[in-house]
Amino acid sequence: MLIEIDHLTKRFGKFVAVDDVSFEVRPGEIVGLLGPNGAGKTTTIHMILGLISPSAGEVRIFGKPFNAHRQEILEQMNFTSPYVAFPGRLTVFENLMVFARMYNVREPRKKIVELARLFGIEEMIRKPFARLSSGETTRVGLCKALMNEPHLLLLDEPTAYLDPQIAAHVKGILLAMQRERGTTILYTSHNMAEVEKMCHRIIFMSHGRIIASGSPIEVTQTILNEDRDEPALEEVFLHVAQRRANNEAA
């Protein structure tokens, strides 16, 4: 297994953000981590990255416990989220150079130009990061995420600020990476159609717990408790969110 999450729990005081979560991700899989806001997806991703320490449980990546092998593991993985940023006064090129050095990339200039071209931001490379649009900053984050040619990629809503055409282009790149290099991807998104298209398997979370996992059709059938021929993750999402709202109102 590439990722093994074993009884992972995170408590902030009395609030349980992630509650006894266990799952595994196989090499080369694209797995979607879904759920309404506050389900515990981002906290889980942050624990996988070591940014938040778990209250209980263990994270193993590439077969090794994260805490004991943090640097070795993080050298082979990467992460991006449109909600984190880069220093605004530095140009796109300078920001990417910093991360190229961080990952000890050979021929960093060539790599940066190659990635900028891949994501269509080569013309912005000399611009300060602060002057970019949201869609452009998302693409800089994706360039950073592919800088070290990671075996494992954690993507938190990678297409959130992208227009449909660029989002489709980005999804194409990610699918090609998975196909050609066997990159494993753990993916969160609120775009259910995108998740159905991209992910081999879904882990659906609510209130910090996993409520269903499997292929999109299996998750649809489990949560809606109906026989379906086609996945309907949008309906599943609305169903879970409504159930949650009802519980909170009660």
Beta carbon of residue 250, minimum distance to other proteins (angstroms, whole number): 28
Q: Using the rule CB under 8 A, is 184 a contact of other proteins?
A: no
181 SS3 class: helix
Q: Using the rule CB under 8 A, is 37 a contact of other proteins?
A: no
Beta carbon of residue 80, minimum distance to other proteins (angstroms, whole number): 8
Q: Which of 87, 117, 163, 172 binds other proteins (CB under 8 A)?
A: 87
15 vs 227, beta carbon nearer other proteins: 15
| Strands of the chain, DSSP E | 3-12, 15-25, 30-34, 56-61, 64-65, 77-80, 152-156, 184-188, 201-206, 209-214
Distance CA 113, CA 72 (A): 27
50 vs 65, beta carbon nearer other proteins: 50
Nearest to 92 by CA among 125, 121, 65: 125
Q: Using the rule CB under 8 A, is 126 a contact of other proteins?
A: no
Q: Using the rule CB under 8 A, is 131 a contact of other proteins?
A: no
Nearest to 158 by CA among 177, 148, 143, 176: 143
Beta carbon of residue 142, minimum distance to other proteins (angstroms, whole number): 13
Q: Using the rule CB under 8 A, is 56 a contact of other proteins?
A: no
Q: What angle do CA 105, 102, 85 make, to 5 degrees?
A: 115
Tokens (6 digits) for 210: 């996993």
Q: Using the rule CB under 8 A, is 99 a contact of other proteins?
A: yes
* Contact yes or no for 17/40 (Cβ under 8 A): yes
Q: Using the rule CB under 8 A, is 71 a contact of other proteins?
A: yes
- Interface with other proteins by CB under 8 A: which residues? 10, 12, 17, 42-43, 46, 49-53, 55, 70-72, 74-75, 78-79, 81, 83-90, 94, 97-99, 101-104, 128, 144
